[in-house]
A and B are shown apart, each in its own frame.
Chain A
């Protein structure tokens, strides 16, 4: 059979991530230090795991309603109001999804007609472009600048807007740069969007991980709620990556369409995970504080170390990544990271893996034990000496 003619061309055209080769090398080394994986190194707090187990003991093993347990949606609404002053109706404005990723997929699929454009600031997480293409849209990558600490400026946004622009992805706090958008930055973006029909898909999965200042959602700004699809979840805030728990909030007419896609494609998010998530929101604020404080210590240490070794790194105020500038070494990101891995057995991710604008940088994840970060810095110093 000629599968090429059988399979959907749009899907076939999507390129698999180039980072695989890198991970293959890493997987064969059993003594390597990995600062490569973007995942909390904490295990989900016990009281949350226990709530999941308890729900199984009680026999809660059936589907939930399509949008998720009402109790959970209510808790999500309370949580968003309490933490970010965001107000959504649990009935009709919130859907519980299989991770934030599903929510992104729902949003893009529900918005896009063939050929419509989605502005995607980069470097950023790798899924936005492929999901846009698979939904028939056209990704328009917008390179953010290191000198702006990888924030999106109004000028940059204006220059990327065309009559075909359907949506803007706003990935802040940002994986991989650690960049954040403060209220004033968002106000400038809101001013550009006002009066247009452009929707914002705001991926706020790292909202709880900001240091020194509180995260502001664009949906919190006047006039923005009606055009924002908020995406969030429990993976980063509560160290719950494997539970696959996310959610999306937005205006009722938008959520109504997204729910259809979720209903027919997924049915409902995993029931056990939903019960665990209720516990996370009811009694988990302290866990967030504790993990944030821990990340903050590692962040300071790592950023300090990178700068000390001459790899300039602006202060990442969000997520759990530092994004040092490698250009002073004269090496490309890919070469630097591959050689660093092969010779020093430390994995960091070349910035190029995160789209245009990543060349010359690397993502260093500090959701890793302190002793590993310390050892990685020692090896980095050795590596920099060797390539001088």
Chain B
């Protein structure tokens, strides 16, 4: 591998994703063509109007779904439809297993991998401490708040020591204050592990605050219309919002995104008369 190739951690090369036609419906061109090079250890966010294929992008990068055309690469290897070792994914929905305790949830992946018991205990206890869950090891997810459950899911990903972490709107269901605090924890996690992080979000502030670079996707089919570099230092946190340059970056993102969001709303417009008709019945 060449020296500058080593700094590219994951990449998309001419990737498109088309959902095949279903009964009475034409095929849906969800994404692409996309080209992207993720540097090792960078924090990259993706923003875009609703329905632009942001989640599909996670599927392709994580090996959950193969691209229809082009190639997705992770550490130089072409991805198919299996998730490679070294990739962790945190979903928007609560993915904690309700039948396992918090401790067992976090230990789940390590146990499958056959890591020895002492090492599992060490790593799980560390991850629980890191995510502020020490007191809840024996609790079941149902006894926790939504934010705490999401921490369990992040801890479960963290213990696997992934080199690439994909976060698909992980804070989507949380309130604004909790989001800000979770964002700080995410930054701390990113600094300590040195992992490459890809965050999908619809919150422009969040993307701005957390990222080194932000990819702005167009309305469906999602293509990058801009990649914005923020230029923040590595040890940033949520107090960054006070920085005068912060508002400027958010404004730039919105300037790119506004026409696309309008376009996305327009795409949904034909559905409106139908709903009105059925509501009138």
Partners in one complex: no
A-contacting residues of B (Cβ < 8 Å)?
A: none
A residues whose Cβ falls under 8 Å from a Cβ of B: none
